Amino acid sequence: MNGQIGLLKNKWKAGLYLLPAVMVIFLLVGYGMWSAVAQSFQTIDGSWTTNSYLTLFRNQLFLDSIILTIRVTTIATILALAIGLVMTRLLYQFFKDSSSKLLVWIPILIPHFVAGYLVFLFLSQSGLLSSFLSHLGVIENRADFPVLVQDQFGLGIILTYVWKEVPFVILMLLPVYYEIDHRYSEVVRTLGGSRWDSFKTVEWPWLLPVLVETGVILFAFIASAFEVPYLLGVTRPEMLPVRAYEWFFNGDWSKRPLAFSAMIVPGVVALLLSISLIGAIQKHRLRMVKGRVR
Amino acid sequence: MNQLLQCNTLKKKYSQSSILKGVTFSLGKGEHFTVVGPSGCGKTTLLRCLAGLESIDGGDIILNGKSLAKVKPEDRSVVLMFQDALLFPHLTVFENVTYGLKRIKTSKKDRIRQAEEMLEKVKLTKWKNAYPHELSGGQKQRVSLARALVLKPDLLLLDEPFSSLDATLRESLRGEVKELLKQENISSLFITHDRDEAIEMADRLAVMNNGEFIQMGLPYDVVTKPSCLESAMIIGEGLALDEGFIPLHELILVKQNETIEPNFISIPGKITAVTVKNNHPYYRVSWDKGTVLVPSINHLHQGEKANIKADRRAIRKYLQNEEHRRKVQ
């Protein structure tokens, strides 16, 4: 009985301690979210309607933006995950030494906007690399340098996010590599499996849940980030957050519901994606955790 | 018996420290060879070298007349069973058992048939769709054994596979495994630091110490006639003295004040525990060079001082070290 009262007291105590944080999240983020959702379903004079969503999906600017956003986000996420995985696989022994880890962490410390600017400085047609190549005589003049930033494909944006997010992927995967029981790889080899079989059977099942979660985080982040696409994108088509920004600030006030709905759509998609993917891998993860030897 | 494996002066070093110092032995087809030795004596390294998980620094390993020195682990007809079952946690029992067959490109039909037969033999048919976390420790080791045996390797290496199980399960599984190995006619090299396990699993037994075999022979001979003091201390069932070995059946524990006849030796000790073996009380006696389990006709108590008594004629002299080592190698 005393134990139960103690537990109850502890719960209340914990609740009390968490209250300030919960209030801040609930009031600021929660209110902001609610306000955005509400405004996306309202006309400028405050009456409720689904018009902004119907208009949105008939709007060519939005459709072009969403295609670009999905393409850039998917490519950047997959490349960051793949490069991060390969680098972790090759270097996790080396990264055990904490000073060597600093090399990888440097891009994490640089703000996204600065990273975008660095990509611009190095890879634009008037940038350092094109100047260097033209000095060397590899290209006749700077205009011969391929358009890598502020291009319609979004290559500059992709490059920036890949450079910025690879260290994040490494940060997520390193603990997994340290946790893997590498005796399983020896089991695979003595059962006739190759090194590739060992990766597939031993490492991949542990990496998969973390890769899925990291992928969802990266996808949601890149799809909704503003500064890099604003700096490195072209005027048309633009990434969705830039399109929403323009509707919010540059158009008349009647476009504001469109701006909100343009951001809520990918938000909802990201939410549904995370719920379904994380739900799907949870069973696999539990099986792995329960079945491991140590 | 046809020769299956020949190890010639096998050497292995880790950062200038010699782990294997020229191990030489051979193994016949269908033979069950056991290596016993204290922790850190090089047993596991020997198995890892045989499995190809460690390179060798000298000597050669010949399996079926072919050198394995430069053959990758996956290309050797050798399977290693580890201390832990190490079943793949995301695969079912059935998938675990068929894992190796899939790697060697066995057809699906044959995979299913062979795995089902093997699961039948290890009595786990009804668990075939279970995941490893749903099995007990003993069941996991059975699956691990099935996974290894289904490949029908020329040589099965067992690295203390029962050490993580409780005593009762360990004893029952020992018998089952030996039976199954005989049925499948698979040669095995079993390593352990458990004396009972070593004796029970072996057709032939080797005692390993400090990176080399110090004695090799039939289990009964090795246990009752240790060739040197180290061997006596590792495997001998009796009292290991500097001048020779006295088998357990020649020893008796007497009270401290009991008179000792002139042709008998007496070693003072203290009873640290009392146990029951073969329905008789046995006393764990600690003396200045170790402990020994001895019977007694007296009723004695834990903590009591007593003497271990034996006829001088029962002392079996050790073989001369150099002469014996040449014989072993």
At A229 the pLDDT is: 94
For residues B163 and B109, state if they share a domain: yes
Contacts of B72 in chain A (CB under 8 A): 189
pLDDT in tens, B173-195: 888 888 899 988 999 999 988 88
- Domain range enclosing A171: 59-291
Q: In CATH, what number is assigned to the domain containing residue B292? A: 2.40.50.140
B328 falls within a domain: no
Q: Does residue B315 lie within any of the structural domains? A: no
A288 confidence band (pLDDT: 50, 70, 90): confident
Q: Could you tell me which chain A residue has the CA closest to the CA of B136?
A: A291
Task: Of A84-98, B27-41, B210-224, give the lowest mean pLDDT range.
Answer: A84-98
Which pairing describes strands B32-36 and B290-295: parallel, antiparallel, or unpaired? unpaired
B12 and B136 in a single domain? The answer is yes
Which structural domain, as residue segments, surrounds residue B246? 238-310
Residue A230 lies in a domain: yes
Token pair listed for B98: 């068929």
Burial class of B109 by CB neighbour count within 10 A (0 to 12, 13 to 18, 19+)? exposed
pLDDT band with cut points at 50, 70 and 90 for residue A47: confident
Q: Is the model's pLDDT at A2 over the cut of 60?
A: no
CATH number of residue B43's parent domain: 3.40.50.300
Chain A partners of B51 at a C-beta cutoff of 8 Å?
A: 186, 190
Give the global pTM: 0.81
Q: Are residues B107 and B246 in the same domain?
A: no
B199 and B271 housed in the same domain: no
| Beta carbons of B90 and A288 less than 8 Å apart | yes
A192 touches chain B (CB under 8 A): yes
Per-residue confidence (pLDDT) for residue A284, from 0 to 100: 84
Tell if the CB–CB gap between A290 and B89 is shorter than 8 Å: yes
Interface contact flag, A183 B82, Cβ < 8 Å: yes
Residues B71 and B124 in one domain: yes
In a domain, residue A138? The reply is yes
Mean pLDDT, chain B, integer: 90
Say how many C-beta atoms besides its own lie within 10 A of residue A205's C-beta.
20
B285 and B272 in contact (C-beta within 8 Å)? yes
**Same-domain pairing of B104 and B247:** no
DSSP state for residue B198 in the 8-state scheme: H
* Cβ–Cβ below 8 Å for A291 and B148: no
Mean pLDDT of all residues belonging to chain A: 89
Residue-level pLDDT at A252: 79
Residue A245 lies in a domain: yes
Number of independent structural domains in chain A: 1
Kindly report, residue by residue over B295-329, the tens digit of the pLDDT: 888 888 899 999 999 999 999 888 765 555 555 55
The dihedral of CA B254, B259, B265, B269: what is its sign?
positive
Q: Determine, yes or no, domain membership for A35.
A: no
Option in A184, A190, A294 nearest B78 (CB): A190
Chain B: give the shortest CA distance to residue A285, in Å. 9
Question: Is B317 inside a domain boundary?
Answer: no
Give yes or no for a contact between B79 and B148, defined as CB atoms under 8 angstroms apart. Answer: yes
Domain assignment present for B229: no
Is residue B194 included in any domain, yes or no? yes
The owner of tokens 């019977």 is B295
- Are B243 and B266 in a shared domain? yes
pLDDT range class, residue A38, cuts 50, 70, 90: very high
Q: In sequence order, what DSSP letters do the residues of A51-98 get, joined into one string?
A: HHHHHHHH-HHHHHHHHHHHHHHHHHHHHHHHHHHHHHHHHTTGGGSH
- Chain-chain contact of B103 with A192 (C-beta, under 8 angstroms): yes
Instruction: Identify the CATH number of the domain in which residue A64 sits.
Output: 1.10.3720.10
**Could you tell me if A292 lies within 8 Å of chain B, comparing CB atoms?**
yes
CB-CB neighbors (< 8 A) of B146 in chain A: none
Question: Which of A226, A232, A80, A225 minimizes the C-alpha distance to A154?
Answer: A232
Answer yes or no: do B140 and B81 share one domain.
yes
**Residues of A with Cβ-Cβ distance to B85 under 8 angstroms:** 293
Q: Are residues B189 and B263 in the same domain?
A: no
What pLDDT is stored for residue A60 in this prediction? Answer: 93
**Whole-number percent of chain A with pLDDT over 70:** 96
Decide if A291 and B72 are in contact by the 8 Å CB cutoff. no
B1 pLDDT tier (thresholds 50, 70, 90):
low
Q: Nearest C-alpha of chain B: how many angstroms from A84? A: 24
Task: Look up residue B154 and give its amino acid.
Answer: D
| CA neighbor of B22 nearest in space, from B2, B49, B4 | B49
Decide if B233 is inside a domain: no
**pLDDT for res A206:** 92
Q: Which amino acid is at B122?
A: V
Chain B residues within an 8 Å CB radius of A181: 86
- Helix residue spans in B122-209 (DSSP H): 137-149, 167-184, 195-201
**B43 near B16, Cβ under 8 Å?**
no
- Inside any domain, residue B175: yes
pLDDT at residue B152 greater than cutoff 60: yes
Q: Is the pLDDT of residue A255 over 90?
A: no
Do B64 and B145 sit in the same domain of this protein? Answer: yes
Residue A204 domain-assigned (yes or no): yes
Residue A293: pLDDT band (50, 70, 90) is low
